[in-house]
Structure 1
Amino acid sequence: MTLVLIILIALFGALVRTVFGFGEALVTMPLLALVGFNIESSTALIGILGLLVALPATFKYHTKIDFAVVRRLVFGSLFGVPVGIALIKYVDRSLVLHLFGLFLICYGAYSLIKVLRQRPTQAHLKANGWDYVAGIISGALGSAFNSHGVPVVIYGTLKKWPVDTMRGILQAHFVCVGIIVVASQIASGFWSLEVIKLLMFIVPLLLVVIPFGNWLSAHIASQTLVKYIYLLLIIFGGLLVFR
């Protein structure tokens, strides 16, 4: 029964990633913890699944990708990955997650209220140098908690990227950073035979989940999707704070 639950949770995370472009780790990690799945194995499982889901999405949105931005994000992530590994090994995990969760709730609520009141804001953080900073934060949270998408989403909303552009940059970034993150997790001993066995069950089912997720995302208007993204940030923050 536990095996079935783990597989369903992983597939649900893949569906969330396919529809919204990010967030699978913030959904699945708390749920996997509830069913008693080892934290390091959970991190390894969600890390590799995120990479696998990002590959077809990158191809789908390749015409929307600003590769110069992706290069800067990835370069910053190279410096952030070892920071994340150190976080998960030496810093109180609960403290980091709670602070991160509070930030997501505050930012998501503030942004959602502004959108609902139809008060448009100008783009912020226009200088290219901020791409590196976002990349560092993304790499750190990605290697530690598989949450490398959230910093890029927040950064993209601050820069007012169009939805499809954000999707393209997100997925290309996921592929590049995902390879680095998965390699670092393997080197750090997060992988196990149990993870490999689970992948043998889950990967074939992605052939159903990914097309279904693409169908759902195609039926959500861009402006509605922006509201859902802010709402998801609030929900994800709540999961981290009250887990």
Structure 2
Amino acid sequence: MLVVVIILIALFGAFVRTVFGFGEALVTMPLLALVGFKLSSATALIGALGLLVALPATIRSRAHIDFAVVRRLVLGSLIGVPIGILLLKLVPTRLILQLFGLFLISYGSYQLWQLWRGKPKKARLQAARWDYLAGLISGALGSAYNSHGVPVVIYGTLKRWPVNQLRGILQAHFVCVGVIVVSSQVAAGFWNGEVVQLLLIIIPLLAVVIPFGNWLSSRIPQATLVKYIYLLLVIFGGLLVFKSLN
């Protein structure tokens, strides 16, 4: 029964990623923790699934990808990935999750308030050098908690990227960083027989989840999708805080 629950959670995460372009780890990691799935195994499982979902999404969004930005993000992530592994091994998980969760709640709530007031902020952090810092943070959180999408989402909203461009850059970044993250997780000993067995069951089911997620995403207006993204950040922040307290 536990295996079925884990598979359903992983598929739900893949669905969220397909529809919104990010967030599968922030949905699945707290849920997997609640059912008692080992943290390192959960990290390995969701890291691999994130990479698999990103591959077809990148092909689908290739016309909207700014590859120069992706290159700078990935270079920053190369530095961030080993930092994330050290965070996972040396820093109390509860502290990192609480701080990250509170930040997401604050940022998402503030942006929703700005939209409600009808006063969206101007684009910020336009210099290309900020891409490297965003990539570094993404790599660190990705290798430690499979949360490499959220820093890029926040960065993209600060730069006011159009939704299609944000999704395209996100997916291309996921593919590049996903290879690095999964490799680092394998090297760190996070993979085991249970993770491989679960992947072999889940991968064929993605053939149903991904097309359905794409169909639903294509029917959500872009302005509405922006609001959903901010709302998801608030929800994800709450899940992280909840997870850190249990």
C-alpha separation in 1, matches of 2:107 and 2:32: 26
Q: Give how far 1:28 is off.
A: 0.2
The amino acid that maps onto 1:128 is: A
Structure 2 residue 80 is matched with structure 1 residue 80:
yes
- 1:217 counterpart residue number: 217
- 1:22 counterpart residue number: 22
SS of residue in 1 equivalent to 2:124:
coil
C-alpha separation in 2, matches of 1:236 and 1:148: 13
Q: For structure 1, which segment, 112-121 or 206-215, has the greater mean C-alpha deviation from structure 2 after superposition? A: 112-121
Alpha-carbon deviations, 1:121-152, whole Å to 9, x = none? 21000100000000000000000000000000
C-alpha separation in 1, matches of 2:116 and 2:41: 40
- 1:3 counterpart residue number: 3
C-alpha separation in 1, matches of 2:117 and 2:227: 12
C-alpha separation in 2, matches of 1:112 and 1:186: 38
Alpha-carbon deviations, 1:139-187, whole Å to 9, x = none? 0000000000000000000000000000000000000000000000000
Give the alignment's Cα RMSD to 1 decimal. 0.4
- 2:33 counterpart residue number: 33
- 1:157 counterpart residue number: 157
- 1:198 counterpart residue number: 198
C-alpha separation in 2, matches of 1:27 and 1:122: 30
Instruction: Give 5+ residue unaligned stretches, structure 1.
Output: none
C-alpha separation in 1, matches of 2:204 and 2:121: 43
Q: TM-score of the superposition, structure 2-length normalised?
A: 0.98
C-alpha separation in 1, matches of 2:65 and 2:162: 11
The amino acid that maps onto 2:187 is: A
Instruction: Give 5+ residue unaligned stretches, structure 2.
Output: none
SS of residue in 2 equivalent to 1:119:
coil
Q: Give how far 1:120 is off.
A: 2.1
Q: Which runs of 4+ in 1 moved over 2 A?
A: none
The amino acid that maps onto 1:196 is: V
C-alpha separation in 2, matches of 1:91 and 1:148: 18
Alpha-carbon deviations, 1:175-231, whole Å to 9, x = none? 000000000000000000000000111000000000000011001000000000000
The amino acid that maps onto 1:165 is: Q
- 1:129 counterpart residue number: 129
Alpha-carbon deviations, 1:93-132, whole Å to 9, x = none? 1000100000000000000111122112210001000000
Q: TM-score of the superposition, structure 1-length normalised?
A: 0.99
Structure 2 residue 94 is matched with structure 1 residue 94:
yes
- 1:172 counterpart residue number: 172
Match runs of 1:34-49 below 5 Å: 34-49=34-49
- 1:56 counterpart residue number: 56
- 1:231 counterpart residue number: 231
C-alpha separation in 1, matches of 2:121 and 2:146: 30
The amino acid that maps onto 1:17 is: R
The amino acid that maps onto 1:175 is: V
C-alpha separation in 2, matches of 1:185 and 1:74: 17
The amino acid that maps onto 2:221 is: A
- 2:145 counterpart residue number: 145
